[in-house]
Structures are given as structure tokens and as C-alpha cells.
Chains A and B, each alone.
Chain A
Amino acid sequence: MLNVQNLKMHFPVFGGLLRRQVAKVFAVDDVSLKVEPGETLGLVGESGCGKSTLGRAILQLYKPTGGSVQFLGKELTELSKSQMRDARKDIQVILQDPGESLNSRHTVGRIIEEPLEIHGIGKTAKDRKERAIELLKKVGLQEDSYNRYPHEFSGGQRQRISIARAIALEPKLIICDEAVSALDVSIQSQILNLLMDLQKEMNLAYIFISHDLSVVRHVSDRIAVMYLGKIVEITDTDTLYSDALHPYTQALMSAIPMPDPRRKKDGSNT
């Protein structure tokens, strides 16, 4: 469904008296990956390795420097703005901080209806309201949330609102960029369950970006490990956790703190 080939995202660095380009940052460098319908691809790596940039380059929120992003047979890098707007129906994003990604001046209802309006789904305002309420219920929120504002909700509930907005257009692929990282453990598991339920129900594919390797393992079918803009290892989840091959993956694995006090504490995990 999604086929990324040799994707490159380089950012210029300007310097000197005349602000000429003096260097390039290779944020994403020659990345290739595929995502099938209904599948979850985990994307892990340390901060600054290019995980989020890759997500944004796939979404065409950054114009990639090179390479191709094929999604449902269309070449996203070559689409015009209005064609891209159409394509975004099928590819949505959930961001880490719902406090910032939800417009604090709009009611929850308006936030969820906006994508419906833009894509002309639902003929009348009444249809759209019905649809929005249906979506709210689907993500486990009360009907009366419709008229409330994002600040009235807790972090977990706000993330539910972002999810409702992301699934409003019944996309095929959702990029979850650290979607549960800011949540408390007890709330995190609620949101993960919701994401997994929706995946089953709607046959969604996820690209699940996270630095929490136990969370990624739980939700992913395959995992890609990124380091300095490149994918160093990509394989199915069980193989990665039992038998990581790349030295960076091994180092990353041994550095994760596990909730198991008996695990060997030899101090070699740096």
C-alpha cells in the first residue's frame, strides 16, 4: 500500500556573511520501506535520528529532497497541492502533544467536523454533527464532549479527540508520532487498546513512531530501527527482539530499562 523508495530529506544550513548554504543536514537519508494494509510498522530510534522527519516527509508536510513515496498507486511527491489534499483523506497523523495539535479556540465538535467539511463528507451540518458524535462515542468519549473545548479534557481524553479527528475520514494509514509518549502508564494502555481495536475494526495500517521499545513491540508487526537518518535494521518484531543483528539495535535494546529487577545489572549497557 505504502511504498517508500530511497527517500531523502536534506535540510540546508546557511551561514557566513551572505547567508550562503554552507552545509546540509541529512535528516532522512536514503530510506526505503513498505507498509501493507492492516499492518503496524514500528519506527524506533533516539531523538534526532529522523523518525519524525521521515513521518512528515511521507505525509508531504516536508517536500522531500529525493526519492519516491508511492501510496495506493499514486506518487505523492509529484502531486499538486489540491491533489495532495485529496490524497490526505487516506493518510492521517496523530501527534504527541494533543494540547498543541488541537486548536484550543475550537470546540471538540468543530475540530472533528473540520476534515469532514474540507472533504465534503456529509451533505448538511446535521449529518456532520451526527457523524462527529458517532466518532466521539467510538473513541470512548461522552456525547456532551461535542460542545466542550480541548482544555476541559485530560491528556488521555485529548489524545482520544485527536484519534477521533484522525479516523474521521476513514483513512487507510495513520502515522502515530509518539502518540502515547506524554501519557501516564494507566492512560497509555487505554489509548493503545483503542488504537488496536480501531485497527481491527477499520483495517487501518499504522506507522508507529516511538522511543519506548516495549510499547512498540506490543503494537507492531514489523519494526524499523533508525540511526542518523538511515534505517539500520528492519525486520518482524519477534526476530528483532530475539535476535537483533545490527550493533546499534543491540545497544539500544540493552539500554532499555525493563520492569524486571532481576535482570542482570552489569552496567555494560551504555
Chain B
Amino acid sequence: MLQVKNLSTTFALENETVCAVDKLSFDLPQGKTLGIVGESGSGKSVSALSILRLLPRPMGQSTGEVLVDGKNILDMNPEEMLKIRGNKISMIFQEPMTALNPVHSVGKQLMETFFLHFPEITKADAWNRSLEMLTKVGIPAPDKRMHEYPHQLSGGMRQRVMIAIALSCEPDILIADEPTTALDVTVQAQIIQLMKDLQKKNNMSIIFITHDLGVVAESCDEVLVMYAGRMVEQAPVIELFEKPSHPYTKALMASLPQLSQQRKTQLQTISGLVPSLKELKDGCRFGPRSGFPHDEESLTKRPEIQQITESHRIEWCPICQKALQETSLC
């Protein structure tokens, strides 16, 4: 099980420091899928990189706790980290073309993982196990694919190879950062199905990062919504879609074209833009876009996180909360 407590990540720029992730906390139970959604720049990917300590150094610094089996990853030395990455936590990325090495064959890249994590393994064994992984992720003619290079594969096949590499040491936790965003819908459906099947087989936990609410609805058990580096709402998937409570989540849901909606009608919009990290204040960050007038205090004082049910958490700014209650009354 993975526990993240008060994870903050800052980046030192030339003459200032920006905070990309601000006190993020969540638990990921064994065998479950947690979706992290948010618009670009909300800190989804940086959170994932912070968990695996893959941030560019020395600019990126994380504080807080990331506990795997009770041990804090952020305190580990590089040798210990090597045992965590791949063995305990693995990651797949959005663009498999840039994540795979174009000058090495697929087989070589798969075998590399085995050589790294099992130094005693023989070449023949590594080859066989790589072959087995490719079969598992549903690649046809795997013995032929082992000799091929990434550019010879289609996008969906490349993503399958990425998944094969990520799962080759049977990690407990898989972090998938927009794994299907670059793929076509039919291929996307295949990859999501594949991840679900492998999850069931290995009892793996998945963190699924995406901006596509449709994908979240289809593949996650729990959803955490991020905005401007903070969690704004976390709930089980059905509850979040049927009873979104935070004004941002509500607005996000409303701005999607729904199949039940009358065609060619005005879509709801969120006015304004996602704030830049440089101009963030400590208070209610969605306030200026929420349509409710916010006073100076609510924009500077950090809202509290409230547990509205056992599994539903919200960062409630008192003004948003009051305004929403009033609108729901009348």
C-alpha cells in the first residue's frame, strides 16, 4: 500500500521558487485504481514524478512523506531507490516513442530490466522472460518483435512494450501518466482493458493520471481532482460523477458535452484561465474563476480539507461552500 502525506514539490527558477504540488495527501489501497485528474499545469505529472523521485535535480525538491510498506521513499539513498523503482513502483509515460530508446531493439530494452534487477540471471533466461512479458501484454509474434526497433511498431504496440517493461518485475504499484492520451479510441480501449486484466492477475495498485474524465469513469475506483497544485476533491468514482461537490469539479463536469444534452446548445464554460504557478496565492485558488465574489481573506487563507463522508474529501473554501449551499436551496 502506498501512502502519500503532505507531499509538496517546489521548483527553483532563476529568481523565485514556485510550488507545483502543495501538500498532497492520499492513500492507495492494494489492488485499487486511483485516478488523478486535472487540467494541464495542475501538478498531476509532477506528483507522479515526485513519488518516484524522478524530478530534475537540483531544481525540483520534494518534502513530506511517501510511504511504501511504512518506509519513506523521500529519505532513501540512491541504492535503495533503485530497488523501489521497477520492483515496487513502476511507471508508464504518455509518449512511448520518447520513453523508449530508439537505438535499441525492443528485446534489449526488456532484458535490460531483468539484468538490472536480477544480476545473476543468464541471458537465455532474460530472453525467455522478456518473451513471456510480450506475450502477456498481447503482442502478436513476440519472438519477431524482440528483434525490432520502436519505430517499427505502432503507437498501441509501443505502449504495450512500455507496459511490458514496467510490469516485468511485478511491481505492487503502477503509475500510468496519461498512458492512452496519444492513442486512438479503439486502441485506448484495448490498453485500458489490458491494464485492468493485468491488475486483476497481479493484484496491483494503479495511479491513473489523465485529463479525460471519460477514461476516469471507465477505469478508476477512486478519483482525486487536482487544481493548481492542490487536491480539491477526492471521492469514489460514482459519487464524484453523481454528486460533485467542489465548484471546480462541478464546473469541469458541466463543461463536458454530454450525450444526454440537447445538441448545439451553449456549453457551460469556466471563465478565465488556469492560474500560472507564479501568481498563486495561499487561499481558495479556484475562487477567482468560480463566479462567486471572494474577499481578500478567503484568497489568502488556505481552505481546510473536510471529510464529508468516510471516503469523500473536499478542500472547502467557506465562501464557495456558502454560495453553493445558497444556490442549491433556491
- Give chain A's interface residues, CB within 8 Å of chain B: 46-47, 154, 156, 184-190, 192-193, 196, 211, 213-215, 217-221, 237-238, 241, 251-252, 254-263, 265, 267, 269-270
A261 touches B269 (CB 8 A): no
Q: Among the listed stretches B3-11, B170-178, B210-218, B308-316, which one makes contact with chain A, having 4 or more residues with CB under 8 Å of it?
A: B210-218
Give residues 210-249 of B contacting A (CB, 8 Å).
Answer: 211-219, 237-238, 241
A-chain residues with CB within 8 Å of residue B264 when the two chains form the complex: 196, 218-219, 221
Q: Is the CB of B214 within 8 A of A256?
A: yes
Q: Which of B261-278 contact A (CB under 8 A)?
A: 261, 263-264, 266-270, 273-274
Given A185-B211, A262-B238, also A218-B185 (CB < 8 A): no
With A186-B252, A270-B186: A217-B214 Cβ-Cβ less than 8 Å: no
Q: A47-B184, A185-B39, A258-B259 are in contact. List 9 more A-B contacts (CB 8 A).
A: A156-B273, A184-B274, A218-B257, A252-B185, A256-B214, A258-B214, A258-B218, A259-B214, A261-B237
- Decide if A192 touches B258 in the complex (CB within 8 Å): no
B39 touches A186 (CB 8 A): yes
State whether B268 touches A46 (Cβ < 8 A). Answer: no
> Which range holds the interface residue count of chain B?
35 or more
Q: Which of B22-30, B54-62, B188-196 contacts A (4 or more CB under 8 A)?
A: B188-196
Contact A257 B212 (CB under 8 A): yes
Q: A269: which B residues are within 8 A, CB to CB?
A: 189, 193
The answer to whether B256 has its CB under 8 Å from any CB of chain A is yes
Pull 10 A–B residue pairs with CB atoms less than 8 Å apart, ordered by A: A154-B273, A186-B255, A187-B273, A189-B256, A218-B261, A255-B189, A259-B217, A261-B218, A263-B218, A270-B193
Contact check: which of B39, B184, B258, B267 meets A184 at CB < 8 Å?
A: B39
* Contact A185–B237 (Cβ < 8 Å): no
A152 CB to nearest chain B CB (Å) = 13
- What is the distance, in angstroms, from B188's C-beta to the closest C-beta of chain A? 7
Q: How far is the CA of A48 from the CA of B215 in the complex (A)?
A: 22
**Can you list the 7 inter-chain pairs with the closest CB atoms, starting with the nearest?**
A257-B214, A218-B257, A186-B270, A189-B267, A189-B255, A255-B189, A46-B184
Q: Give A167 to B156 CA distance when docked, in angstroms.
A: 38
A223 nearest CB across to chain B (Å): 11
The answer on a CB contact under 8 Å between B252 and A185 is yes
Contact in complex: B185, A186 (CB < 8 Å): no
Is the Cβ of B268 less than 8 Å from the Cβ of A189? yes
- Shortest distance between the CB of A222 and any CB in chain B (Å): 11
Q: In the complex, what residues of A have CB within 8 A of residue B270's CB?
A: 186, 189
